[in-house]
A and B are shown apart, each in its own frame.
Chain A
């Protein structure tokens, strides 16, 4: 099991922040142990005692990261979570005005919303790119997908959805675009003008744009469509959208489409469609029997009446023209063509042209299967290699950035007597190597020397794709290459023909094609609603995973918002896609949110559980998902024993335990199964009195036990005589008085509106789970008038009032069933990914989801981390327990921490943390609660409706504020802290949802 230990000097963070960071790493599935702390002696001792080897020289100003995980991949995942958590801290601190900044969004949809971006850029690994692109499309913006390895089925679905939403998908595997003068990915600096380019090939588009620039013709925009767009399955969907966008763009007067060989029927359909666009379209499409890219551009330039220029060259004497006589200078008619390319399209073009003269050319991207190459990529005859092909870029950067593989091959060819001419491409511009010409020139010079030493003249031809405005400079780069002995040409087609000339072949003269007929001048199919691309005005970009691409955009003074992305929960990609593309989901989630937030909660009665729930003798309800007595933790066991004693089913604790263990005549059931909720152990038995709440809008009812107060109480597993006595008093005195009070209030006035109390208490510093002081006072105020006039001895009434008033969590037992009503209203909607139950039984944490009905998804409960009372410590804490997480499920509790900053004194953290927590929860919820508002967030509604998809995607787990129970039954509360559900609950739920998609 691998350990990872590292020191980060000079990285100071306060211990509370580091506690959060440590926790974020520790909860990554598969991480066994994690510590992130300042390397003080004390901390180093702890880390060493965990079995880690601490590096020497660690000082207290250094940050030490110690991580142990199941395997190397999990270590990486843990480190990624570390970076993400640190990034959140930094963003909070960077613009600190004391309250901290909101955490960065983790998805591209979040980034678009936060910044009003009008274009998205996705560059995360292929398996995850589809979800991000879908997110961008649904946020209403066009998206450039730089990522490759996106399954074609996903591409088709993305582009179909994009067509419906009126946006454009540039990609997948799109590396080149220019929008409004802004270069995205690999693009050259070309003059502005009125030609719009649609590019199904990146380097092909670069060749075309550089030629146009050299001819004095400018570009309005270059819209990429992805390398696979013109294949049969995809059918040119993005090409169609791009054509529509350019047809509607006032700055574009004519259009050129650039592609490698496409599916013929797709091309035919597009050509027909383009004829009705109202602007002339040139098809610069490579293919057997079709003109090369240069010829197509020459035809296009001729259309405007101008003569195509002589394309720039160096050391091509005479210029690449019909060879009437042998070329001046040495020719190597005995050698072979060796084409070593970085751009796939350029390699294709070279092969298409050369095959006409030299026959079959071997290649790793051969035109026909029998012309393939072996793994060493060597052959005696003519060879063309695309170094940018996937197989050659595993684990290394693209050759346009890292040229080392090709440089090695050049050296090999130099000493290979069968090599006659080296044909190379070199692409300049944004995104490429900052200055590739010197290294290539040196390699060429060295190769020519090596060949000369072997008595051979090695001819070298370079097609240099670039402009003088590029950072590297075309002229400067060309001069360097020419000095090294290469012939340099801007046109790849001309370079190929020149190489063939040098091998002694006569090539056909430059074809001046007639300009294509004036098709497309009339707009027969005027574009409909238009495609939402920022073709006018400024481009603002939201990026995810983009790294270097983001830097390039910032260098062009483009405002960008980067999502703080991390991979989704391991193994969930397939399920995420299935559920995200479920047509029912958006409407289902909207309905769930509407119902959840509209649900009312009126206190209508107080009755014994026997009556209210029909609870049978020997049946005990408990908090959390189903569990057996064997597996139950201390507090739950103690509470069950106490309940047995209360019901008279046993005389002693030992007897009770024995009966419970045997299980005869005993039924244990989750409170949730009966529409009830219980705090902590949450045990409800027949004699216990319960509050009854009603949601008249949806016709649902929920129940919860009465709160026993603090100290040694049943819900913490105490079962001593004082506990039983108090419970009896509650049943004999408190319950009936409350019943009278509630019924009288209902009769004389109206039921107590518990939902209204929640709304009010959130604006008085409560959050409804761990802090209920204001709510308890508000409740008391509602109850007092009719409590006082109840028919009971005044001493009983006084004791009931004192008991209720002394309990600062008095309201919790009403807030919880109110939240239960809200979640019940949202439950059972097909296709809905909203969580409707979060509950713990002290051993397991269980969730239920609206769209998967009553199925529980469980995993071992975590132990809360926080602050301890008295001399208690972490070893004293029981795993998370109670149904009180129903508050977070309904949008309050930990989700409303920003409304209750004082709570950080109990659970740990600082005020900024409280605000940040609520801010984070917006990223995993469907919407905001209209009634529950947080004053300091300008009365923004609390984040409501936890979405399983969002949790799995972002790795942000719902934050729960909770009390901590002592492990040993009857200990009572040992502290308060923060806890999250296990990630496994959500991945399981997601899988179940995916299995139910139509």
Chain B
């Protein structure tokens, strides 16, 4: 595979295609718009608001909607946001290079849990860097925690979801990443029949038009359990029947933090919010517990 080539030579780049976007790659060729172009990742719309694929290099995070190249290249030297590229017939045609699907990739998924409470959390969670509630989310993490409590106790979730979808500045706004974290961890930890997860999923899916396409696509995937490998691994460790080794847990946690600019940290904040909610409902926390104090403070502020 050649690295960077000029426009006169069309290289052929093998890529592994996620089953979530394979239908559009295999289907008839159509022009699709590039929503956003970075050095290591291109986002391309696939015809509806929440259908997006991410053409990315191997060192970028493995997204469930990804078309993964096998070598490094600076993608934003080839295309820019707003360009139209042809998708279909087994490939994505970029200027100077054809991205050819040679195999299905195997994205990983958070399975529907049997209701194992993340018991390891209490002793490990507070030792994880950045665990607990954050100060830089403009109170969104409090909203997230209260939303979880509401969902888990059968109370209305519309308002809480409405405050999170699309909240924040980035390509994947912080509120969306918090919601993804909540949805994924409810899948992993909530007892069947996963009522809270279903309620939140319905509310979220009805509001996808209020955020970016890229974020909508990722939220959509998250409602089905699809997520980046480190997030899936983290939830697997926490939901497992065997308590995870602290070194391994810390390593996965730290890697997860590095996803995107703030996405990783926001996802983890969503997971933290869910666990806080589950833990406070399962057994009353001691008054002096920092999480408990914070929770009560936030409840009081919004009563």
Q: Does A associate with B in a complex? A: yes
Contacts of A94 in B (CB 8 A): 3
Is B211 an interface residue, CB under 8 A from the partner?
Answer: no
- A556 and B102: CB pair below 8 A? yes
Is B68 an interface residue, CB under 8 A from the partner?
Answer: yes
CA distance A90 to B58 in the complex (A): 20
Is B279 an interface residue, CB under 8 A from the partner?
Answer: no
CA distance A558 to B103 in the complex (A): 9
Is B229 an interface residue, CB under 8 A from the partner?
Answer: yes
Contacts of B68 in A (CB 8 A): 538, 557, 559
Is B213 an interface residue, CB under 8 A from the partner?
Answer: no
- A558 and B72: CB pair below 8 A? no
Which one of B71, B108, B229, B232 lies within 8 Å of A554 (CB-CB)? B71
- Report the nearest B residue to A537, measured CB to CB: B108
Is B202 an interface residue, CB under 8 A from the partner?
Answer: no
B239, chain A: closest CB distance, angstroms: 15
- A557 and B62: CB pair below 8 A? no
Contacts of A95 in B (CB 8 A): 72
- Mask, A834-860, CB within 8 Å of B = 1, is 000000000000000000000000000
Contacts of A556 in B (CB 8 A): 14, 16, 70, 102-103
B16, B68, B232 — most chain A CB neighbours (10 Å): B16
- A557 and B108: CB pair below 8 A? no
CA distance A558 to B15 in the complex (A): 8
Q: Please tell me the size bucket of the interface on B.
A: 20 to 34
Is B1 an interface residue, CB under 8 A from the partner?
Answer: yes
Contacts of A538 in B (CB 8 A): 16, 62, 68, 105-107, 229
Residues of A in contact, count (CB < 8 Å): 17
CA distance A560 to B15 in the complex (A): 13
Contacts of A59 in B (CB 8 A): none
B114, chain A: closest CB distance, angstroms: 15
CB neighbors of A among B57-83 (8 A): 58-59, 62, 68-72
Is B155 an interface residue, CB under 8 A from the partner?
Answer: no
- Mask, A137-158, CB within 8 Å of B = 1, is 0000000000000000000000
CB neighbors of A among B23-49 (8 A): none
- Report the nearest A residue to B71, measured CB to CB: A554
- Report the nearest B residue to A560, measured CB to CB: B70
- B229 and A557: CB pair below 8 A? no
Is A391 an interface residue, CB under 8 A from the partner?
Answer: no
- A554 and B14: CB pair below 8 A? yes
Is A536 an interface residue, CB under 8 A from the partner?
Answer: yes
Is A182 an interface residue, CB under 8 A from the partner?
Answer: yes
- B14 and A537: CB pair below 8 A? no
Contacts of B3 in A (CB 8 A): 94
CA distance A560 to B72 in the complex (A): 11
- Mask, A509-548, CB within 8 Å of B = 1, is 0000000000000000000000000001110100000000
Whether A557 touches B72, Cβ cut-off 8 Å, given contacts A182-B103, A537-B229, A538-B229, is no
Contacts of A558 in B (CB 8 A): 16, 70
CA distance A499 to B104 in the complex (A): 40
Contacts of B14 in A (CB 8 A): 554-557
CA distance A392 to B62 in the complex (A): 45
- B102 and A537: CB pair below 8 A? no
- A554 and B70: CB pair below 8 A? yes
Is A180 an interface residue, CB under 8 A from the partner?
Answer: yes
Contacts of B229 in A (CB 8 A): 537-538
A95, A536, A538, A555 — most chain B CB neighbours (10 Å): A538
CA distance A555 to B15 in the complex (A): 8
B285, chain A: closest CB distance, angstroms: 33
Whether A536 touches B70, Cβ cut-off 8 Å, given contacts A181-B103, A559-B58, is no
CA distance A553 to B68 in the complex (A): 13
Contacts of A554 in B (CB 8 A): 1, 14, 70-71
- Report the nearest B residue to A535, measured CB to CB: B106
Whether A180 touches B102, Cβ cut-off 8 Å, given contacts A95-B72, A554-B70, A556-B14, is no
CB neighbors of A among B103-160 (8 A): 103-108
- Mask, A21-46, CB within 8 Å of B = 1, is 00000000000000000000000000
Contacts of B103 in A (CB 8 A): 181-182, 556-557
- Report the nearest A residue to B111, measured CB to CB: A250
Whether A557 touches B69, Cβ cut-off 8 Å, given contacts A537-B229, A538-B16, A538-B229, is yes
Q: Is the interface of B mostly helix, strand, loop or mixed?
A: loop
- Mask, A549-581, CB within 8 Å of B = 1, is 000011111111000000000000000000000
Which one of B59, B71, B106 lies within 8 Å of A536 (CB-CB)? B106
CA distance A8 to B174 in the complex (A): 54
- Report the nearest B residue to A561, measured CB to CB: B58
Contacts of B108 in A (CB 8 A): 536-537
CA distance A182 to B58 in the complex (A): 16
CA distance A540 to B229 in the complex (A): 12
- Mask, B1-32, CB within 8 Å of A = 1, is 10100000000001110000000000000000
- B69 and A180: CB pair below 8 A? no
CA distance A538 to B58 in the complex (A): 11
- A557 and B16: CB pair below 8 A? yes
- B1 and A181: CB pair below 8 A? no
- B106 and A557: CB pair below 8 A? no
CA distance A554 to B103 in the complex (A): 11
- Mask, A625-640, CB within 8 Å of B = 1, is 0000000000000000
CA distance A94 to B15 in the complex (A): 22
- Report the nearest B residue to A95, measured CB to CB: B72
CA distance A558 to B71 in the complex (A): 9
Which one of A540, A557, A559, A560 lies within 8 Å of B102 (CB-CB)? A557
- A181 and B72: CB pair below 8 A? no
- Mask, B222-240, CB within 8 Å of A = 1, is 0000000100100000000
A740, chain B: closest CB distance, angstroms: 49
- B15 and A557: CB pair below 8 A? yes
Contacts of A555 in B (CB 8 A): 14, 102
- Report the nearest A residue to B242, measured CB to CB: A529
CA distance A560 to B16 in the complex (A): 13
CA distance A553 to B62 in the complex (A): 18
B8, chain A: closest CB distance, angstroms: 20
A546, chain B: closest CB distance, angstroms: 14
- Mask, B92-104, CB within 8 Å of A = 1, is 0000000000111
B236, chain A: closest CB distance, angstroms: 10
A94, chain B: closest CB distance, angstroms: 8
Contacts of A537 in B (CB 8 A): 106-108, 229, 232
Contacts of B106 in A (CB 8 A): 180-181, 536-538
- Report the nearest A residue to B233, measured CB to CB: A537
CA distance A538 to B68 in the complex (A): 11
B222, chain A: closest CB distance, angstroms: 17
CA distance A412 to B62 in the complex (A): 56
- A181 and B71: CB pair below 8 A? no
CA distance A674 to B229 in the complex (A): 56
- Mask, A311-328, CB within 8 Å of B = 1, is 000000000000000000
Contacts of A181 in B (CB 8 A): 103-104, 106
CA distance A180 to B104 in the complex (A): 10
A936, chain B: closest CB distance, angstroms: 20
CA distance A182 to B59 in the complex (A): 19
A171, chain B: closest CB distance, angstroms: 23
CA distance A368 to B303 in the complex (A): 89
B49, chain A: closest CB distance, angstroms: 28
Contacts of B107 in A (CB 8 A): 537-538
Interfacial residues, chain A to chain B (CB-CB below 8 A):
94-95, 180-182, 536-538, 540, 553-560
In the A-B complex, the 7 residue pairs with the closest CB atoms: A559-B58, A557-B16, A557-B14, A557-B70, A537-B108, A557-B15, A554-B70
Can you list 21 A-B pairs, Cβ within 8 angstroms, ordered by A? A95-B72, A536-B106, A537-B106, A537-B229, A537-B232, A538-B16, A538-B62, A538-B68, A538-B106, A554-B1, A554-B70, A555-B14, A555-B102, A556-B103, A557-B14, A557-B16, A557-B69, A557-B70, A557-B103, A557-B105, A560-B70
Additional A-B contact list (14), CB under 8 Å, known A537-B232, A556-B102, A557-B70: A95-B72, A181-B103, A536-B106, A538-B16, A538-B105, A554-B71, A555-B102, A557-B14, A557-B69, A557-B102, A557-B103, A558-B70, A559-B59, A560-B70
